[in-house]
Structure 1
Amino acid sequence: MNPTVQISENQQQPNPRTTDFEVIRRDGGLTAWDPAKIERALAKAFLAVHGDAAAENERMHRRVPELAAQVAAAVTRHKAAGAKIHVEEIQDQVELVLMRAEEYKVARAYVLYREARAEERARVDGAADAETGLWLQDELGRRLPMNPAEWRALVRGACAGIEDVDAEAVLKEGLATLYDGATTAEVYQALVFAARAEIERQPRYNLVAARLLRMRLIREVRLFGVSQTARRNAVLDRPFDYGQALVAFVTRGIEVDLLDPRLAQFDLARLGEALVADRDDLFTYLGLQTLYDRYFLQHEDLRGEMPQIFFMRVAMGLALEEVDREAKAIEFYHLLSTFRFMCSTPTLFNSGTRYPQLSSCFLTTIGDDLGRIYDGIRDNALLSKFAGGIGNDWTPVRGMGAHIKGTNGKSLGVVPFLKVANDTAVAVNQGGKRKGAVCAYLEVWHVDIEDFLELRKNTGDDRRRTHDMNTAVWVPDLFLKRLSEEGDWTLFSPDEVPDLHESFGRDFEERYRAAEARADRGEIRVFRRMPAWRLWRKMLTMLFETGHPWITFKDACNARSPQQHVGVIHNSNLCTEITLNTSADEIAVCNLGSVNLVDHLRDGTIDHDRLRETVHTAMRMLDNVIDINHYTVAAARNANLRHRPVGLGIMGFQDALYRLGLPYDSEGAVTFADQSMEAVSYYAFEASAMLAAERGRYPSYEGSLWSRGILPIDSLALLEQERGGFLEVDRTMHLDWAPIRALIERHGMRHSNCLAIAPTATISNICGVSQSIEPTYRHLFVKANMSGDFTVVNPHLVAELAALGLWDETMVADLKYHEGCLEPIERIPQELKRRFATAFEIEVRWLIEAGARRQKWLDQSQSLNLYLDRPSGRMLDEMYRLAWRRGLKTTYYLRSMGATHAEKATVEQATLNAVEVCSIDDPDCDACQ
């Protein structure tokens, strides 16, 4: 190709925005965007075909600027100012524009020129590879020389624009582990591991590792988008086009039965234009790796989704029944892809697929006959198959020694059936994506309660143990009152006192006393009496030893339930945040999602306009879940459509406190918990009422507390009335609720329940924020979950220490030695230690006080973990009694510090390299999020 050609200076440039973009060269370096270079390249191609005479050709002088303008427009159309454009992307567009303009000979010359240059670079850079001498195998099985220049350019691209990271160090460490014949996937993995190893010293390597993983993912997505036979001709290294990839993903996904065929009915071009590729840089490595391992749809071990395609697939699935599907899909996409709100895990797994089981939690009541017991276990299996977390109410099942009329024998009680339920959860492991997750609930008056408390012990008869299933006790207020009175407690078999299961509050107390009188008269055969404190002590002892059973409060859940007119709440779910009615005919269902609280702070306060917009869109998405959902059990469908409950929660609470400069153990934090939850509930109730105006009230609305003008804050009075006192809760309101009351009175509600705070163990990882309402566990530790082990370092703390000149290798070593806690490190200022106190350094009452302030606004409950460094029986007793007096509906895990800690070892002189592995993020914690 002849390099000599003149371009008239007075010709119009194809794109005057010469300073808005930068071009990434093949060596990873950056150069200024210059559209004139496109004209010169096109002119060279014309000259190569038509010879020097073409320089005088008027047509060529007219044609080249036109085509160059088209190339520049195509390349920059969806790029934000300051975006970086790879040189290969520009050259790809030159080929496309020439082909579309039917300049086939010129296009062929241009392609041949590119291939010749590529071969020349390979000879120069790779000469069997003089630097490494290695050969690689790519995804298509081709054997290629290892070219360090290409990988150097790739790593430099991953580090571009990120301060305080060393591309050469990542490259050196990554390539040092390779061997002859390694696959390109292994090279990417080695580079990712090299970057993530530096995260503990410099958290910005999080972004480097995420970008490298994204680059690897692009190659998989390219292969997914074509058929098996077409893959041998696939080009893996050319620039990635999100819009084209969306079309390829939907087309191929439908072909292989992964996606709902209705997704093809969307205007995919319009949706593709809405995708914002730059949002991929919002991910931390942990977030993107979690999506890669567990969420992206795949076929034949190839992922089909990039992050933005993933969010659009979820959004499309939730917009299937909207009138303007594209507009709503784009609205939903923007909420998800900016991390303002995140749907729960089942929704992310299954939205837009052939089997869209989108609901998070299921609550069932097990009946008291053999057929209904095994129907209940079968329901568990079907619900678990598509990633549902399950809470079973086992209280109706008769106890040990109870009479069996059909056989004239005696029952072995509830425990043997719990063992079967446990093994079913193991066998049906949520579609092979994560462990089956079930929690069994039993009321504390059940005659088998003592055996139930021992289910999680590691000693005793293993046939009476459930090592994989969680347990929780359903505690009525009367039991706590008997404790206070140092009175006795009587245990019954439910077949003789079935009315106790279906009553609560003062009604329960009257029926319970009547049952005790019947037992004293000899009218009840199976019962047992003991001091209430003895059962309470065993409950707390088992809780300390095994982490179970969780303690949940029956009357607080029922007295404040908006739906008490249609039945009794018998249990909660796997994570103790859902409080819905169940019966023989209805399996309660809840549909979850969480607002990223820290993303709704502006200038040190809540941005109400932004929060209102987020909550309204989120509530619409959750409402759509109910109608689109694939129901595996008819009783679940009946309940969900009749009551339409959703559970909008929050995450990033601890991050918000860091942003506001508030210690968790402070009145300021408690007040923020109160005001932030009030704001979320205000807009959630407003959104539900407005959806009711648009789509109609939920069918069981009449007779509910909503219909009687009683909001959750008002229901505190109902609980106090049922208890006869014993309630100490701040009832301050900061917003004007009159407009919401008027709106509900006029339109009703679309949902029986609107709010529930779930653990968000996984979706908070995706968004890169702190979990739910949790305090920071440690500032430096290794998080262990189903995606592997990940070093986690608190970026807020790093920023503070760096500003003080305290973030260095010694500080990293100190944090490791002191297991991620600041208190023993003398050179850290006391104010910083207070603000960055970890979960076990915070007095537990502050967790309860903040929980109580949130609970007053919630129509359901919250997953509230409690932390004690070195618990004692007295501390546990005081803690759970305080939780009851503060009106909490449920509690979750009791977290205590282990007796032993991770070994502190050295691999470098004077460097402590042991980092404790955190098992708090166990699979049970995120079963519904």
Structure 2
Amino acid sequence: MSATLSPAADAVATLSCEPAAWLAYRLKRRSGDVVAFEPAKITVAMGKAFVAVKGAGVVTAASTRDDLEALTDTVLRALQRLKPTGGSLLIEDVQDQVELALMRSGHHDVARAYVLYREARAQERATLATLEAARTGASAAATTLRVRRPDGSLVPLDLAALAQRVAAACGGLGADVQPAPVMQEAERTLYDGVAEAEVDKALLLAARTRIELDPGYSQVSARLLLDSVAREVWGETVPAHDRQSAYTTHFAALIERGIAADLLNAELRGFDLPRLAAVLRAERDEQFDYLGLQTLYDRYFLHIAKRRIEMPQQFFMRVAMGLALREDDRNARAIEFYELLSSFDFMSSTPTLFNSGTPRSQLSSCYLTSVPDDLGGIYGAIRDNALLSKFAGGLGNDWSRVRALGAHIHGTNGESQGVVPFLKVVNDTAVAVNQGGKRKGAVCAYLETWHLDIEEFLELRKNTGDDRRRTHDMNTANWIPDLFMRRVLAKAEWTLFSPSDVPELHDLYGNAFNAAYEAAEARTQTGEIAHFKRIPAQDLWRKMLSMLFETGHPWITFKDPCNLRSPQPHVGVVHSSNLCTEITLNTSDDEIAVCNLGSINLARHLVLVESAQGDSQAADAGAFLTLDLAKLQRTARTAMRMLDNVIDINYYAVPQAAASNARHRPVGLGIMGFQDCLYQLRLPYASAGAVEFADRSMEAVCYFAYAASSELAAERGRYESYEGSLWSMGQLPLDTLGRLADTRLPGELDVDRSQTLDWDALRAQIARHGMRNSNCVAIAPTATISNIVGVDASIEPCFGNLSVKSNLSGEFTVINQHLVRELKGLGLWDAVMVMDLKHYDGQLGAIARVPDWLKQLYATAFEVGPEWLVEAASRRQKWIDQAQSLNLYLQGASGKQLDAVYKLAWVRGLKTTYYLRTTSATQAEKSTVNRSSLNAVQSGATPASAGLSAAEQAILASALPASDVKFCAIDNPDCEACQ
């Protein structure tokens, strides 16, 4: 192949590449020689690959030359993430990134040829090496290498000790996970005089490169990383079999060290530290995969001068102790909380994990504010954003009260510049206050659909136009009243107002809003309101969806379901949701809503039970998997206690948040690992069985969460604003569907209302004891904590069976261990399957040898019709007192499909939706799969929405023009949902 490529070398070599940043890097050749790293050679190599596939003249084309420069830049950035401080790179490191860049950029024919060429050359080298070894009897391991210690001295490298570490890391992971290839790969990266720190990196990187071949190597990588972390934390090498003793020995000293460094709350000394140390379970470190442990190491473990001071089990105990500080028996409760966290049955949200047990323990996840219509109030709200963001809070701001562009200002007799200039300041504040460097500051602005600035608001995330009126870093969301959706369906007109002329609309919803809005429209006819705009409602809806499709914003959320189904209508109004659209709490000038989050790992709550004869779910002759309701009840009870404790322990950066949280005590218990459950239950996501499991599992979670809150009320007292709430009236979330139905016209609400548990008994319990928390359940995205515990995020379908996930810790190969287990059982797991999964973006649809039933079970997010996600979400929403972060996925979506999906979400009673994820048409076509098979219901399945009523069919009938626009990268490390 190299001979074929050589004619293009001169043409390719003329492309430029900036080398200045690469002086700290070296390239280790396969011969063992270490030479200077030359970025320009990457461009040359890729140019040769293009020539091999497309002909010698291809590199003279300007478009190809631009592609090569862009690809080279992509590869270089990936290598910098791999080794941010410089060091030795292998040729294989570079080639891996070239292969990945070619595939991600859509040059799949070139990538495939490149992969096959690499494989052929690797086989040639292996054959030659075997022959040479047989001829000479030599072994690469016989060469004596030396390691450079931090003091500059050189000592012999103990390869035997390294081999023992690798063998220990591979232990118990099956016959397909072998230490030899890891060791061989590591040895090739080592050289005489290698720095001591580079040796551990060499072992880790060698294991990482094999994750795509077998998910067991992810655990190997985690164990090798754990070796390094143990040495960093404890100051000595501690083999895995000795770590239980080390945990016990070092625990108290590490607590004291953290207190001395002002990293830990001095109150932690008051715990029985020897007792807590004795219950730490070192074997639970074996649960981590590489992504989970690396994420904890990079972002969660406390450190002094960049040196970590806690191991995983000490980290979980530190979090548990922080949450138990106000308990009567704090030691027993800390142990109870530790057991839940360290078992991965439940995980607290990121702010809680960051800050629990620290001197300033800001543990809450979400803050919701309502911005007043005066200059002092606006900048006060921006100041509050900065203070809340500083300590890792995510923000949702309601801007619907701020007067519109052109509205009269009485104090100056001038005209308002509207909402947008202030949102630019909010955007820049979020960038400036980056949560202590742990994650980017994040805020979402909400605006009601009747606001006169709504059209400009829709364009805030566009990359064109006046950049002074763009907000590229913050999120936006539409806050849509039902009346607007009714006008869209009727193809009627819609009127936009400045809130300074119609201030009453902000606090109204349902029929009261409808009456006030129509009265305001009548005032435009009499001239009483002169500053307004009337447009076709359908045109505004089209623009909403077009901007959502093009820019990913604003999200679609619904004002009336959020308010009519809120348990707290007697004390205020829900004016917005939060950063991730799952929180629906009241806000006002005096109260900033706060919510504390945590999620049950649903995949850890399945149990194998004996089945009745003929049971259709039977996994074998006599048993099937189902939800373990007893365990789920225990988990919910402890989790709700932990979440309730946050309210009293929490550090509040602003007084309005403290007042609101103490008065209403809302929490948000959620779930993750829903997709993992479906794999184990043998239920495709696009199936009636999966929708039913969504219903039954959420019914159980909510039942036990509400029961636990009532039990806490019996023990600790009711929340302050309980009287007058829907809880106090015996109305549970399922009952509030009636309140919503009363304001909808026939055909505008169709929600399944089936139930299986004894909700009357729960109503009676709440009548006796009340509730400790005004709100109890919300399903958050869980993007990072699901990485920690190693399951699919939240309620999401699998994004890709083999993919590369990017976050602030770097790039990680993620492979579906459930699928690999299946393919091994069928004799289909081999190097060709790995290559095919890479080529087809982790999708099975185009791989002929994979059986159809497996393709259905392991369909990825873009292969599952979005209506299935809506149907499952609707079944959950009927039980939830808040909302859920619901991402929707569309493959090469058309405007017609987009229109239908979001109208279906409204009909099915959803409160909110979150990100819309799409892929471009070129990505859909490159796999040579018929595009109709993507985002389509799988063969033999019928969506629950197929039998729509005539009224619902009419709702879904109006459509937008078809469009294929790519706008959102699922693994964008700057996206808060990916954190």
Whether the TM-score (by the shorter chain) exceeds 0.5 is: yes
Please list, as runs of the form range in 1=range in 2, the aligned pairs for 1:204-219 lying within 5 A after superposition: 204-219=216-231
- What is the aligned counterpart of 1:159 among 164, 170, 177? 170
> Does 2:734 correspond to 1:735?
no
| 1:706-785 alignment, distance < 5 Å | 706-725=727-746, 726-785=748-807
Q: Residue 130 of structure 1: CA displacement?
A: 6.5
Offset of residue 162 of structure 1? 2.1
- Mapped contact 2:227–2:239 kept (Cα < 8 A): no
Residue of structure 2 equivalent to 1:546: 551
Distance 1:781 1:299, change over 3 A: same
**Structure 2 residue aligned with 1:170:** 182
Secondary structure of 1:591's match? strand
Q: What is the Cα deviation at residue 925 of structure 1?
A: 5.6
Distance change (3 Å), C-alpha of 1:928 and 1:367: farther
Map residues 439-478 of structure 1 onto 2, 5 A cutoff.
Answer: 439-478=444-483
Letter in 2 for 1:198: R
| Residue in structure 1 matched with residue 655 of structure 2 by the alignment | 634
Aligned to 1:49: none
- Distance change >3 Å, CA 470–CA 215, structure 1 → 2: same
Q: Secondary structure at the match of 2:416?
A: strand
Partner of 2:703: 682
Instruction: For residue 800 of structure 1, give the secondary structure of its aligned residue in structure 2.
Output: helix
Give the letter aligned to residue 251 of structure 1: E
Q: Is the 8 A contact 2:888 2:917 kept in 1?
A: yes
Is 2:970 aligned against 1:920? yes
Query: Secondary structure, in 3 states, of the residue corresponding to 2:401?
Result: coil
**Contact 2:917 2:968 (C-alpha < 8 Å) held by counterparts:** no
Which SS does the other structure have where 2:774 is aligned?
coil
What secondary structure does 1:413 align onto? coil
Is the contact made by 1:136 and 1:146 (CA closer than 8 Å) also made in structure 2?
Answer: no
Instruction: Select which of 696, 704, 716 maps to 1:695.
Output: 716
8 Å contact 1:296–1:310 — kept in the other structure? yes
**Separation in 1 of the partners of 2:974 and 2:693?**
29
Q: Secondary structure at the match of 2:421?
A: helix
Is residue 499 of structure 1 aligned with residue 504 of structure 2?
Answer: yes
1:590 partner SS: strand
Point out where structure 2 has 5 or more consecutive residues left out of the alignment.
1-140, 609-624, 928-966
Q: Distance in 1 between matches of 2:155 and 2:738?
A: 74
Instruction: Look up the equivalent residue of 1:156 and give its one-letter code.
Output: A
Alignment-mate amino acid for residue 705 of structure 2: A
Tell whether the 8 Å contact from 2:146 to 2:154 is kept in structure 1 after alignment.
no
1:621 corresponds to which letter in structure 2? M
Q: Is the 8 A contact 1:863 1:890 kept in 2?
A: yes
How many angstroms does 1:870 deviate by?
1.7
How far 1:877 sits from its partner (Å)?
1.1
Give the match's secondary structure for 1:790.
strand
Residue 663 of structure 1 is matched in structure 2 by 684
**How far apart are 1:928 and its partner, in Å?**
10
Displacement of 1:903 in angstroms is: 13
For 1:884, the equivalent position in structure 2 comes to 906
Matched residue type, 2:417:
L
Change (3 A) 1:891 1:420: same
For the Cα contact (< 8 Å) 2:145–2:193, is it kept in 1? Answer: no
CA contact (8 A) 1:342 1:594 kept: yes
Residues 120-131 of structure 1: pairs in structure 2 closer than 5 A? 131=143
1:186 and 2:208 aligned: no
Work out the CA distance in 1 between the residues paired with 2:598 and 2:852: 37
Aligned to 1:815: 837
Q: Looking at CA atoms only, which structure, 1 or 2, has the larger radius of gyration?
A: 1
CA contact (8 A) 1:364 1:582 kept: yes
Partner of 2:275: 270
**In 1: Cα distance, 2:226 partner to 2:164 partner:** 15
Aligned-pair Cα RMSD in Å: 1.8
How big is the shift at 1:175? 3.0
* CA displacement, residues 168-188 of structure 1 (integer Å, 9 cap, x when unaligned): 221221232234443332211
Task: Please name the residue that 2:851 is paired with.
Answer: 829
Partner Cα separation in structure 2 for residue 437 and residue 466 of structure 1: 12
* Contact residue 388 and residue 928 of structure 1 kept, 8 A: no
CA distance in 2, matches of 1:893, 1:747: 39
Query: Matches of 1:643 and 1:403 in 2, distance apart?
Result: 37
Distance in 2, matches of 1:133 and 1:737, equals 70
SS at structure 2 position matched to 1:392 = strand
**Cα shift at 1:535:** 0.6
The Cα shift of 1:823 comes to 0.7
Separation of aligned partners in 2, 1:175 and 1:534: 64
SS in 1 for 2:727: coil
For 2:810, the equivalent position in structure 1 comes to 788
Secondary structure at the aligned position of 1:723 is classed as coil
Structure 1: where are the runs of 5+ without partners? 1-128, 224-233, 906-916
* Structure 2 residue aligned with 1:914: none
Q: How many Å separate the matches in 2 of 1:644 and 1:141? A: 58
What one-letter code is carried by the residue in structure 2 that aligns with 1:704? S
Which residue is equivalent to 1:226? none
Partner Cα separation in structure 1 for residue 228 and residue 667 of structure 2: 37
Q: 1:408 aligns with which of 391, 405, 413?
A: 413
Counterparts of 1:875 and 1:902, CA distance in 2: 16
Distance (Å, rounded) in 1 between the aligned partners of 2:155 and 2:342? 37
Alpha-carbon distance change, 141 to 620 in structure 1, aligned in 2, over 3 angstroms? farther
Change (3 A) 1:786 1:135: same
Q: Determine helix, strand or coil for the equivalent of 1:363.
A: strand
Structure 1 position 526, deviation (Å): 1.5
| Maintained 8 Å contact 2:552/2:968 | no
Q: SS at the partner of 2:169?
A: helix
Contact 1:712–1:859, Cα closer than 8 Å, also in 2: yes
1:391-434, CA deviations, whole angstroms, 9 ceiling, x for partnerless residues? 11011110000111111110110000000000000000111101
Deviations 1:10-53 (A, max 9, x none): xxxxxxxxxxxxxxxxxxxxxxxxxxxxxxxxxxxxxxxxxxxx
Which residue pairs with 1:611 in the alignment? 632
Mark the CA change 1:918 to 1:202 in structure 2 (over 3 Å): closer, same or farther: farther
Judged with a 3 Å threshold, the aligned counterparts in structure 2 of structure 1 residues 191 and 175 are, in CA distance, closer, same or farther, namely: same
Report the Cα distance in structure 1 between the residues aligned to 2:571 and 2:968, rounded to whole angstroms.
43
Report what 2:491 is aligned to.
Answer: 486
Q: Is the 8 A contact 1:817 1:904 kept in 2?
A: no
Residues 877-925 of structure 1: CA deviation (Å, up to 9, x unaligned): 11111100100000011111134449999xxxxxxxxxxx994244566
Equivalent runs, 1:79-228 vs 2, <5 Å = 131-138=143-150, 143-163=154-174, 164-223=176-235
Question: Structure 1, residues 848-872: CA drift from partner, whole Å, max 9, x if none?
Answer: 0000000000000000011111211
In structure 2, give the amino acid aligned to 1:731.
R
Q: Which residue identity lines up with residue 639 of structure 2 in the other structure?
A: A
Separation of aligned partners in 2, 1:471 and 1:920: 17
Aligned partners of 2:271 and 2:331 also within 8 Å? yes
Secondary structure of 1:891 counterpart: coil
Deviation track 1:152-175 (CA, whole Å, cap 9, x = no partner) reads 222122122222222122122123
Return closer, same or farther for 1:705/1:865 CA change in 2, 3 Å cut-off.
Answer: same
Report the CA distance between 1:808 and its aligned residue: 0.5
1:624 aligns with 2:645: yes
Contact (CA 8 Å) 1:479, 1:489: kept in 2 or not? Answer: yes
Task: Tell me the alpha carbon deviations over residues 787-819 of structure 1, each in whole angstroms, 9 at most, x when there is no partner.
Answer: 111011111110111100000111111111111
Deviations 1:425-470 (A, max 9, x none): 0000111101111111000100000000000000011001000001
Match of 1:422 in 2: 427
- The equivalent of 2:917 in structure 1 is 895
Q: Which moved more, 1:645-654 or 1:166-175?
A: 166-175
Secondary structure at the residue paired with 1:400? Answer: coil
Q: CA shift at 1:134, angstroms?
A: 1.9
Q: Which whole-Å CA distance do the structure 1 matches of 2:254 and 2:468 have between them?
A: 48
Q: Does 1:861 align with 2:866?
A: no
Distance 1:665 1:892, change over 3 A: same
- Is 1:847 the equivalent of 2:877? no
Maintained 8 Å contact 2:442/2:976 = no
8 Å Cα contact 1:758-1:928 kept in structure 2: no
Encode CA deviations 1:543-597: one digit per residue, 9 max, x unaligned.
1101111000000000000001111100000100000000011110000000010
Runs of 4+ in 1 over 3 A off after TM superposition: 140-144, 179-183, 234-240, 899-905, 921-929
Contact 2:891–2:918 (CA under 8 A) maintained in structure 1: yes
895-904 or 453-462, which deviates more: 895-904
Alignment pair present for 1:325 and 2:339:
no
Q: 1:537 aligned to 2:551?
A: no
Q: Output one character per residue of 1:702-733: Cα deviation in whole Å (capped at 9) or x when no partner.
A: 10000000000000000011224411000001
Asked whether the equivalents of residues 440 and 976 of structure 2 are also in contact (C-alpha less than 8 Å), the reply is no
Q: Is the 8 A contact 2:233 2:307 kept in 1?
A: yes
Q: What count of residue pairs does the alignment treat as equivalent? A: 779
